[in-house]
Amino acid sequence: MMNEIEKTLTDAGVRVTAVRLMVWREIHSRFTDAFSLADLEDALPTVDRSTLFRTLTTLVDAHLLHDIDDGSGSQKYCICPMCDTRHCGGHVHVTCTSCHRTFCLTNVPIPEVPLPAGFVPEQAEYVIKGLCPHCATHRH
Ligand SMILES: [Zn+2]
Ligand SMILES: [Zn+2]
Ligand SMILES: [Zn+2]
């Protein structure tokens, strides 16, 4: 019998393999905000880095994850509840300049920007740099 998490992969057109299933399950149980390949390596030390990277790429291509460039120099990924199997416009992120975590504002969609005629948008990133609530409160 197919469980919910496996069904999400199948519905998105991803062929289910043991590794993909394990990675997808781990991402769901562990990360509520943006994570990097290194974070995933820490979570799944038994899977080699290139396999993890390929799996992430597959999940991004299937629109099950968003990829974000938060300016940290390492690619970040996140689950987006606004995504179904089609591509959504993405959500706003806040990168904390103190703890360097990148937070998903999953219910704040990226605002639509009117582009001049002729431009064809493919992807948008909206990253705000600032302090997270914890760092804003504990800063001296
Ligand atoms: Zn999305
Ligand atoms: Zn912070
Ligand atoms: Zn996000």
For residue range 3-52, what is the model confidence (pLDDT) as tens digits? 888 899 999 999 999 999 999 999 999 999 999 999 999 999 999 999 99
Percent of the chain whose predicted confidence (pLDDT) is above 70: 95
By the CB criterion, residues less than 5 angstroms from ion ligand 1 are 80, 82-83, 88
Tell me how far the alpha carbon of residue 115 lies from the centroid of ligand 3, in angstroms: 24
85 SS3 class: coil
Percent of the chain whose predicted confidence (pLDDT) is above 90: 71
Of the pLDDT bands very low, low, confident and very high (cuts 50, 70, 90), residue 85 is very low
Q: Which fold has domain 16-113+122-138?
A: Arc Repressor Mutant, subunit A (1.10.10)
Quickly count: other Cβ atoms within 10 Å of residue 95's Cβ: 21
86 SS3 class: coil
Tell me how far the alpha carbon of residue 32 lies from the centroid of ligand 2, in angstroms: 15
Of 87, 112, 118, which Cα lies nearest the Cα of 12? 87
Asked if pLDDT for residue 136 goes beyond 70, the answer is: yes
Measured CA to CA, the distance from residue 89 to residue 125 in angstroms comes to 9
Measured CA to CA, the distance from residue 137 to residue 140 in angstroms comes to 9
By the CB criterion, residues less than 5 angstroms from ion ligand 3 are 78, 104
pTM for the full predicted model: 0.87
- The ranges assigned to domains in the chain are 16-113+122-138
Quickly count: other Cβ atoms within 10 Å of residue 56's Cβ: 21
